[in-house]
């Protein structure tokens, strides 16, 4: 073999190795995305009232990918950012019937159905986003024991996290609802779940 041919063979081997390495890494990254949204827990049964008066129970979460958050309408810090982010997600997934959103108020005394309806019209433009209220004690329990989110000193002490729930009511992952990179992550995880069927 001439020295040029030898060099070519070495170059090809090198490229082949790099390609295999690249393939391995890409595959690993793809799998890690699925592993990273492994099941954390199960959503308990609940019964809350939507702003339009309808009763929404855990059954509503069946066969849908749900994003759940806790907010209250008078909140001026995190909630507007959270709701704005959720609104963006609602728009981006508007073409899918399989994605829905739940915002549960931590201030049911002030947040009547009328106030929730008004609040919802600021952010939501589809009926796949539920703004829910219920008994405060039940909401504390749902937040702490159901979604493993702190609910001390309500209303203001609610968690600012979004919860990703799959079609079988499994809690899959949490995202900081005010941080852009977390929303980015949530978006790609929703796509991952949708692709899994």
Partner 1 sequence: MSNKFFFRSAFISTILSYLLIFVGGLVRVSGSGLGCPDWPKCFGRWVPPTSIEQIPAHIDPTAFNIVLAWIEYGNRMLGVIVGISILLMTIIAVIYFKKNSKILFSSLLSLFLVVANGGLGAIVVSSVLNPFIVSLHMILALFLVSVLSYVTIESYKLINTQKFTGILLSKKISISLIALWIFIVIEILLGTGIRTNIELIAIDNPLLSKGELLESLNSYKYFHSILGFSLLFLSFYLCYLFKDDFLGLSKQLVLFIFVMIILQIFLGELMIFFEMPQLTRLFHTWGSSWLVGIIIILYNTLQYEQSQ
| Interface with partner 1 (CB under 8 A) | 4, 18-19, 22-23, 25-26, 28-33, 36, 91-93, 95-96, 161, 173-176, 179-182, 184-185, 187-188, 190-191, 194
| Minimal distance, residue 158 CB to partner 1, in Å | 17
Query: Which CB sits closer to partner 1, 24 or 110?
Result: 24
Q: Which residues pair with 71 in a beta bridge?
A: 105
Nearer to partner 1, 106 or 178 (CB): 178
Query: What is the C-alpha separation between 108 and 20, in angstroms, rounded?
Result: 57
CB of 10 to partner 1, least distance (A): 13
What is the nearest approach in angstroms of partner 1 to the Cβ of residue 189? 10
Residues paired with residue 100 on neighbouring β-strands, in sequence order: 66
Q: How far apart are CA 183 and CA 139, in angstroms?
A: 24
b vs e for 108-121, b when ≥16 Cβ sit within 10 Å of the residue's Cβ? beebebebbeebbe
Give least dist CB 82 to partner 1, A: 14
123 or 131: CB nearest partner 1:
123
Beta carbons within 8 Å of 18's beta carbon, 6+ residues apart = none
């Amino acid at each position: 073999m001439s020295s040029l041919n030898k060099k070519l063979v070495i170059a090809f081997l090198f490229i082949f190795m790099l390609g295999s390495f690249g393939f391995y890494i890409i595959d690993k990254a793809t799998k890690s995305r699925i592993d990273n949204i492994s099941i954390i827990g199960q959503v308990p049964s609940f019964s809350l009232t939507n702003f339009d008066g309808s009763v929404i129970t855990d059954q509503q979460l069946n066969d849908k990918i749900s994003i759940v958050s806790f907010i209250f309408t008078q909140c001026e810090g995190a909630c507007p950012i959270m709701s704005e982010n959720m609104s963006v997600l609602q728009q981006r997934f508007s073409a899918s019937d399989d994605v829905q959103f739940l915002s549960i108020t931590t201030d049911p005394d002030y947040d009547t159905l009328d106030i929730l309806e008004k609040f919802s019209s600021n952010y939501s433009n589809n009926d796949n986003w539920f703004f829910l209220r219920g008994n405060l004690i039940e909401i504390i329990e749902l937040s702490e024991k159901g979604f493993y989110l702190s609910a001390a000193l309500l209303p203001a002490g609610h968690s600012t996290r979004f919860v990703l729930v799959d079609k079988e009511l499994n809690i899959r992952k949490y995202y900081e609802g005010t941080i852009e990179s977390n929303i980015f992550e949530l978006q790609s995880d929703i796509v991952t779940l949708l692709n899994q069927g």
